[in-house]
Amino acid sequence: MEARRIHVDKGYRGHNHPHRFRVWISGQVRRVTAPIRRETKRRAAVEPVIGHVKAEHSMDRNYLKGRVGDRINAVLAAAGYNFGLLLRWLAELLRAIIRAFTETVPAQKIA
């Protein structure tokens, strides 16, 4: 699948890609349609997650070889990130279950 539109930040300096595609820079206002604006907003929402994964899930350095290694490293980092989200969700669910259980069970009186 070939990319037709690429969304970049304002520090973008150009490309030497052999095929032609359209580059959209954040903050650009001319010729921006609703779908392009939506894609730019989506990029802005994903950018902090990418920064977090790079900082916390060993994406700053790739020890795997070649393009396949790059892909494996990205998939493993994303899996680790998603696993962390799942663990936080499960911890919150367990807290809610314990809270509901303690509220429904009456305290026993000791005579």
* 54-102 pLDDT per residue, tens: 777 666 777 778 888 888 877 888 888 889 889 999 999 999 999 988 8
Q: Are residues 50 and 7 in the same domain?
A: yes
58 contacts: CB under 8 Å, gap ≥ 6: 77
Nearest to 77 by CA among 98, 60, 101, 96: 60
Is residue 47 included in any domain, yes or no? yes
The residue segments making up the domain with residue 79 are 64-104
- Do residues 47 and 77 share a domain? no
What is the Cα–Cα distance from 86 to 92, expressed in whole angstroms?
10
**Are 39 and 74 in the same domain?**
no
Is residue 109 a part of any domain in this protein? no
User: In the numeric block, which tokens belong to residue 90?
Assistant: 């499960």
Question: pTM score > 0.85 for this model?
Answer: no
CA distance 70 to 58: 12
Tell me if 111 is assigned to some domain.
no
Q: Are residues 3 and 52 in the same domain?
A: yes
Among 56, 81, 96, the domain-final residue is: 56
